[in-house]
Amino acid sequence: MTQLQDGAVRYEQNGNIAEIVLDRPSKHNALTPNMYRQIATCCAEANETASAHVVIFRGAGERAFCAGSDIKALDGYEDFWAWRNRFDYTPPILDLRKPTIAAIKGWALGGGLEIALACDLRVVAQSTVFAAPEVQLGWNGAGGAAQHLTRMCGYGQAMKILLTGDRFSATEADRIGMIEYLVEDGQELHRAREIAQTIASHSSMATQTVKATIRGAMDGMSITQGLAQENELMSLCFAKAELAKQKGSA
């Protein structure tokens, strides 16, 4: 992708593993509206590329995953209505059918926290610092932190994080169940790639259907609805395997 003055988001692929890289290290990978759209473009590319089985999100440089939205960029919106109807970055991540992993280091604040929470798995370096500081600026976050934190960590922990805006450590994030892997500094991307390789070694249809069933449960399906979805998707996996067998014997 063309490198923009206000930052860029890069799509890379190595084998069956795609990586979406937030590339504005001089500003701790803080997001601009152009970067919002590039995230969507990269997510669409990952969805449409059959050979991409897993997607890793990471930040360029050594100091940050993502420090959130660049506050100065907010001045570019004409008024509150333009802001309300902005193009946002979280929905394209949630629309990814492929399993997603966030490899997190340094700062993961505001929108950076929201991106991490929108991914399916989080691999976090020990020295990472998280926060949702929006309330300290006079507003609430709008990229899904309340939705995901409440589901992952419970009502009280979500309230604590979002009402105070206080920073908290990777160890605390691990304690409250917000992350899946806590690793030594400098090992987060290596470990994320190892996990991605394990997932990518499975049938892509199987991993995508697993993700769909878990997302369905999180979105409030009844047990009856969830079981029906699981059965239908399992049948599709069987049908694909049978078709492949028939082609192989033809």
Q: Quickly list DSSP for 65-93.
A: EE--B-GGGGGGSSSHHHHHT---SHHHH
Mean pLDDT of 100-125: 98
Checking if the pLDDT of 216 tops 50, the result is yes
The proportion of the chain whose per-residue pLDDT surpasses 90, expressed as a percent, equals 78
Residues belonging to the active site: 114, 134
What distance in Å separates the CA atoms of residue 22 and residue 58, rounded to the nearest whole number?
Answer: 6
Mean pLDDT of 68-74: 83
Which pLDDT tens digit goes with each residue over 17-37?
999 999 999 999 999 999 999
What does pTM read for this prediction?
Answer: 0.92
If one compares 70 and 56, the residue with the highest pLDDT of the two is 56
pLDDT band at 5 (very low <50, low <70, confident <90, very high): low
Checking if the pLDDT of 250 tops 70, the result is no
If one compares 113 and 247, the residue with the highest pLDDT of the two is 113
Task: Give the model's pLDDT for residue 2.
Answer: 37
What distance in Å separates the CA atoms of residue 97 and residue 76, rounded to the nearest whole number?
Answer: 32
- Tokens matching residue 180: 């899946």
CB 34 within 8 A of CB 6: yes
Which pLDDT tens digit goes with each residue over 119-173?
999 999 999 999 999 999 998 988 999 999 999 999 999 999 999 999 999 999 9
- Greatest mean pLDDT among 66-80, 182-196, 226-240 lies in 182-196
Checking if the pLDDT of 61 tops 90, the result is yes
Largest Cα–Cα distance of the chain, in whole Å?
Answer: 66
Mean pLDDT of 75-98: 83
CB 7 within 8 A of CB 34: yes
